[in-house]
Amino acid sequence: MTSRTQRNTKAKREAPKSLDRAAWLMAAWRALARSGVEGVRVEPLASELGVTKGSFYWHFADRAALLDALLEDWERRATAAVIDRVDATSEDPRVRLRELVHFTTSVSEAPDAEHAIRAWGAVDGAARKKLDRVDARREAYVRALLIAAGVDEGVASFRAHVVYLALIGEYARVAHGGARTSLDAWEELLRMTLGPSSPRASSA
């Protein structure tokens, strides 16, 4: 039996079950936002939570497993759950697009989380792959809403990209201490995005 396996087995036998996996993930998120991915370390997290490292190994095999869990948690909460929430609001794609923009720009923790993930993706290939997949999924969702709202398919791709870039720019600005953009400004962007479109002519 390897030392890691022995350590994990001992942790599962001795660690308190009162500190659940979610508590470790939340502590890891705070560390990520505060210090970047290099700040997500088992010992400092255990100290912050007031427990031994054994509690960590009850829920995660090692630090790499925690980092994987962070990326999965981000995709689930910041993409899949958001899409589910928006889809439940209305059958009207215009209403859903407005809900998407209004909700995602009002979540207080979103700017710091998005900024931290993007900084992580700049130095780590696995995080970059996850980030690229999430970006593509989000843009595709906006594009589908625009097409359902009557925007030409070719134009919808460009408009979806513009809307997504605006949201990412908003996160970056707020994460660096800037003021949030007013709802009136977002409404104007939505009016332009949902406006009449003509099929985009192909290049010669």
Tens digit of each residue's pLDDT (9 = 90 or more) over 157-169:
999 999 999 999 9
Closest-CA residue to 41 (of 59, 24, 23, 58): 24
pLDDT tier for residue 18 given thresholds of 50, 70 and 90: low
CATH 1.10.357.10 domain extents, the chain: 70-196
- Which residue spans of the chain are classified as CATH 1.10.10? 1-61
Q: Report the CATH fold assignment for 1-61.
A: Arc Repressor Mutant, subunit A (1.10.10)
What is the secondary structure of 35-76 as a DSSP string?
H-GGG--HHHHHHHHTS-HHHHHHH-SSHHHHHHHHHHHHHI
| Average pLDDT of span 44-50 | 94
Going by pLDDT thresholds of 50, 70 and 90, the confidence category of residue 199 is low
For residue 63, report the phi and psi dihedrals to the nearest 5 degrees: -60, -40
Query: DSSP state, 1?
Result: -
pLDDT digits (tens, 9 = 90+) for 116-173: 999 999 999 999 999 999 999 999 999 999 999 999 998 999 999 999 999 999 999 9
- Record the tokens describing residue 7, joined without a space: 């350590």
Instruction: Give the residue among 79, 175, 67, 85 at the shortest CA–CA distance from 133.
Output: 79
Superfamily designation of domain 70-196: Tetracycline Repressor, domain 2 (1.10.357.10)
